[in-house]
């Protein structure tokens, strides 16, 4: 069949579908080539390392086992002067006793306790605010009780980027690899999200960070009245704070492995869904420009895969369409592999062939499911 016959056999609907396919393909491929590639190509500036005193803040609720296992890794960082402030937020297990035991071995550990109050619903933001008020130092580094630094250079790497001009530092918080599909979903979603927010920050448009690995000046927090404006939300202690106060001038990223943290992943589908419901609730409160950029990315990704399937079924241009999609996929997988190497993630390349088209649908279902659950969920 020649080109003339193909053109004559193509109706208006097929031309529209092909147009939508090409627009979404070029947009998605452009994101990988010109934006997401910033992450693996990033070379941190060679600046003299600072050794200013640092406060590490951790909020914990019923984290007895995790504190016993992971807190020593935070307390044994290769850094000359720092304190670790743990806020025990109404724990009913042995968290208080574990902290008391560890404080004997580690004099830099300080902790405070928030009592149980069944009449008052509160989230992580109150505990974090208490921790920031208790911190002795201007430079603070945040992580979670179920997280651990990959190396003893974590604190040095994160703190070294906090300077007079740089008020916020974004780090990577990955999840431990485990067996099973759910773990692949969790780790790929975490990788892809990091690829987005690191690349946007490197492009001068920071919009989020993760509380598992985040640093900033405490004065920035208090000068902007903390979490005012979104205190009522169960989430947003990390991403909404960054979204509202980070700029291209005051925000830096640290991507090398020495600065990474790892967390324990959810092991049940129900637990992960509840976690994502809480996280996704903050998205509608992002700045308008952030929502537009993320919305366009999501819409074009959905449009790419949906028009690919439909046009392959009804269009006579199937081989051209598949060829272009293959070229775009090679670009995506190449950049993704580079990003995986930068963030020390493994065994996610082939699963991404399924997860990249499936995740928008899964997360969309989770987002809509929020209307059937209590809007204010506990933070842990």
Give the position of tokens 């431990």. Answer: 176
Cβ neighbours for 172, distance < 8 A, ≥ 6 positions apart: 194, 198, 213, 254, 255, 259, 260, 261, 343
Question: Residue 265 class from Cβ within 10 Å (0-12 exposed, 13-18 middle, 19+ buried)?
Answer: buried
End-to-end CA distance of the chain: 61
What domains does the chain contain, in order, with CATH numbers?
3-36+290-349 (no CATH), 41-286 (3.90.550.10)
Ordered per-residue pLDDT tens for the chain, 380 residues: 565 666 666 677 888 888 999 999 999 999 999 999 999 999 988 766 667 999 999 999 999 999 999 999 999 999 999 999 999 999 999 999 999 999 999 999 999 998 876 555 567 899 999 999 999 999 999 999 999 999 999 999 999 999 889 999 999 999 999 999 999 999 999 999 999 999 999 999 999 999 999 999 999 999 999 898 887 777 888 999 999 999 999 999 999 999 999 999 999 999 999 888 888 888 889 999 999 999 999 999 999 999 999 988 887 788 889 999 999 999 999 999 999 999 999 999 999 999 999 999 998 888 887 666 554 455 55
Give the CA count within 13 Å in the CB-facing half-sphere of 109.
23
Tokens describing residue 358: 């499936």
Contact 245, 217 (CB under 8 A): no
Going by the DSSP 8-state scheme, the letter that residue 253 receives in this structure is E
Cβ neighbours for 51, distance < 8 A, ≥ 6 positions apart: 79, 80, 81, 159
* Distance from C-alpha of 181 to C-alpha of 71, rounded to nearest angstrom: 29
Q: Are strands 139-144 and 54-60 parallel, antiparallel or unpaired?
A: parallel
Helix ranges (DSSP H) in the chain: 3-9, 12-30, 38-41, 64-75, 95-105, 124-134, 154-160, 181-202, 218-223, 239-245, 269-280, 288-314, 318-342, 352-369
Going by the DSSP 8-state scheme, the letter that residue 283 receives in this structure is G
* Distance from C-alpha of 11 to C-alpha of 249, rounded to nearest angstrom: 51
């Amino acid at each position: 069949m020649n080109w003339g016959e193909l053109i004559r056999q193509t109706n208006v609907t097929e031309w529209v579908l092909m147009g939508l396919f090409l627009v979404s393909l070029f947009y998605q491929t452009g994101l990988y080539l010109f934006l997401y590639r910033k992450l693996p190509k990033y070379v941190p500036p060679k600046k003299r390392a600072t050794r200013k005193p640092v406060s590490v803040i951790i909020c914990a609720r019923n984290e007895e086992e995790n504190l016993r296992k992971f807190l020593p890794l935070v307390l044994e960082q290769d850094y000359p002067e720092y304190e670790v402030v743990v806020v025990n937020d109404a724990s009913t297990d042995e968290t208080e006793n574990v902290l008391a035991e560890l404080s004997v071995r580690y004099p830099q550990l300080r902790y405070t306790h928030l009592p149980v109050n069944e009449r008052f619903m509160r989230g992580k933001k109150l505990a974090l605010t208490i921790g920031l008020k208790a911190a002795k130092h201007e430079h603070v580094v945040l992580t979670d009780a179920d997280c651990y630094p990959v190396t003893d250079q974590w604190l040095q790497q994160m703190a070294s980027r906090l300077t007079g001009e740089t008020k916020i530092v974004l780090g990577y918080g990955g999840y431990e690899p485990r067996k099973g599909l759910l773990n692949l979903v969790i780790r790929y979603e975490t990788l892809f999200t990091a690829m987005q927010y690191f690349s946007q920050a490197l492009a001068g448009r920071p919009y989020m960070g993760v509380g598992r690995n985040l640093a900033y000046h405490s004065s920035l927090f208090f000068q902007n009245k903390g979490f005012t404006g979104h205190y009522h939300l169960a989430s947003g202690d990390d991403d909404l704070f960054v979204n509202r106060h980070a700029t291209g001038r005051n925000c830096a990223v640290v991507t090398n492995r020495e600065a990474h943290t790892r967390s324990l992943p959810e092991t049940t589908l129900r637990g992960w869904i509840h976690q994502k419901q809480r996280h996704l609730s903050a998205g509608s409160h992002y700045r308008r420009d952030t929502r537009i950029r993320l919305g366009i990315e999501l819409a074009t990704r959905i449009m790419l895969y949906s028009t690919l399937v439909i046009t392959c079924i009804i269009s006579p241009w199937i081989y051209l369409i598949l060829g272009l999609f293959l070229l775009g996929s090679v670009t995506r997988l190449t950049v993704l592999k580079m990003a995986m190497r930068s963030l020390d993630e493994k065994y996610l390349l082939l699963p991404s062939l399924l997860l990249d088209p499936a995740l928008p649908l899964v997360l969309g279902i989770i987002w809509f499911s929020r209307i059937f659950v209590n809007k204010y969920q506990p933070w842990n």
